[in-house]
Chain A
Amino acid sequence: MGVRRWVERWPLYRQLTGTDPLGRGAAAKSARSLTLTARTDTADSVARSVCPYCAVGCGQRVYVADGQVTQIEGDPDSPISRGRLCPKGAASKSLVTSPLRQTTVRYRRPYGTEWEDLDLDTAMNMIADRVLAARDETWEDRDDEGRPLNRTLGISSLGGATLDNEENYLIKKLFTAMGALQIENQARI
């Protein structure tokens, strides 16, 4: 039985007995080809997303298997992009899975010459400390004529325009409450 199956799977046997005597097609099909599937078909989930590059707003479908992004391609449903992507959009999977992505906090101490590692919680607390200190040091309560200023000019921020509306909203809200005025964005540039 084993031998027989082995022989039957031998392309030469299929050549001699099947429809493909020249061995250029059906007979030559390999085990991998016989079971080949598109990985979009076998993905665990698909997220409907939007391209992060320019402002055209092309629809993307993000395919995920085992918690990893396995494919990102254009969403044919999008009336804007009709499933198409430019080279940058088409490279989105490489963008999010790039081995060059930084995934840990890095810290350069004053006058340091190398990066150091830092725990995320520690970093958050250190940043909060510095924000509060800078704010206190540079706080302006009122102008020369006694009109309110309620602000600090000791803190700046420059945001990229790939941030979400919700993120921008919280950034502006927090900084405004903090009195930090110098909040800027790529939109200025």
Chain B
Amino acid sequence: MTDATPPHEPVGARFREFQDGVDQPDGKRRGRGDGGEQLTVPPADFASYYGRPILKAPVWKYDIAGYLFAGGLAAGSALIGAGAQLTGRPGLRKVGRWTALGGVAASTYLLVHDLGRPARFHHMLRVAKVTSPMSVGTWILAAFGPLAGVAAVAELAPLLPQHGVLGLARRIAPPVGNIAGLAAAATAPALATYTGVLLADTAVPSWHDAYPSLPFVFAGSALAAASGVGLIAAPATETAPLRRLALAGAAVEFVGGHQLERQGLTSEPYTHGRSGRLVKAGRALLAVGTAAALVSRRSRVLSTISGVALVASSVATRFGVFEAGRVSALDPKYTVVPQRERLAENRSTAPL
């Protein structure tokens, strides 16, 4: 037997990674001892406990990113539905209402699915806590969901027989649907924007620091996505407001997104890495979608392209923001450095 490198058999999966890194470079270098070489590790400008995150990363799965998208889509669509209803665009109204229902159903499913104990979903209704955006959101969803449902179901009225009990329903449905549609639209902006608070009201550095802008990003993204669906599905003759809405949504999101990148160190995840790429992709798609919407006019193809881009933009933005939060929680840098800076600032401004 000589000093040949023995076989490595990782004891547990958790060792595999460092086995690769640990047993080779340092050991060999030290073993030879031929001097001069730096035994260094990447420098850091802050202290931590074994470089480990101070915070727990969100345990939310991508369900929640999906929820953010679906909820926003539902809210925007409900608004569009109501707008179409009030301005006499039945095709667009139908699309809006159906998308709202679809969105809220999906978001409810995703929300429940993400729970560790889905069977206990109803525990959300034990309390109503203004300190808990999720509680507030639950109650908003509890209000919005049925309303959106009624509004959407009302669209089925023409399928009902003319006579009998169902005939009565056929006659009552449209006005009930209209009331429900307007009521849903009234709660829709809250549904779209509370999610900004949902993320911001955490210790996750990149989310919390973004609290002034996240509701706007999400509001804009919701409008853009809903407009996108409308552009795809609604009769071309009724989509004019959607082009304006897409533009408005894009504007709101751009402004909000711009702020996201101006909040210091915790902006980094929005501009770098996978999360940064997602956010950037979202913005690029938003620009493309908006531009396409503006020039599409009568072109069905362009409208569809625009719609798809806008929806994709919203998805990318939500996933990007979601991922940025995870990244910022997992690196202690984003926790320690801003807090240190804040302490230094307080110290320098504190009276002696």
Spell out A's residues near B (CB within 8 Å): 10-12, 15, 22-24, 27-28
Contact = CB atoms under 8 A, between A and B. Distances in A.
A27 B128 CA distance: 11
Contact of B130 (A12, A22, A28): A22
Contacts of A10: 126
A23 B125 CA distance: 12
Contacts of A22: 129-131
B131 A11 contact: no
Contacts of B126: 10-12, 28
B39 interface: no
A112 B245 CA distance: 83
A132 B261 CA distance: 88
Nearest to B139: A12
B125 A12 contact: yes
Interface of B: 125-131
Contacts, number: 20
Contacts of A15: 127-128
Given A12-B128, A23-B127, A24-B129, 10 more contacts: A11-B126, A11-B127, A12-B127, A15-B127, A22-B129, A22-B130, A22-B131, A23-B128, A27-B127, A28-B126
B117 to A, nearest CB: 14
A25 B179 CA distance: 38
A27 to B, nearest CB: 7
A123 to B, nearest CB: 37
Nearest to B130: A22
Contacts of A23: 127-129
B137 to A, nearest CB: 15
A28 B125 CA distance: 12
A24 B128 CA distance: 10
Contacts of B127: 11-12, 15, 23, 27-28
A24 to B, nearest CB: 7
A157 to B, nearest CB: 37
A188 to B, nearest CB: 35
Nearest to A14: B127
19 contacts: A11-B126, A11-B127, A12-B125, A12-B126, A12-B127, A12-B128, A15-B127, A15-B128, A22-B129, A22-B130, A22-B131, A23-B127, A23-B128, A23-B129, A24-B129, A24-B131, A27-B127, A28-B126, A28-B127
A11 B131 CA distance: 15
Contacts of A27: 127
Contacts of B125: 12
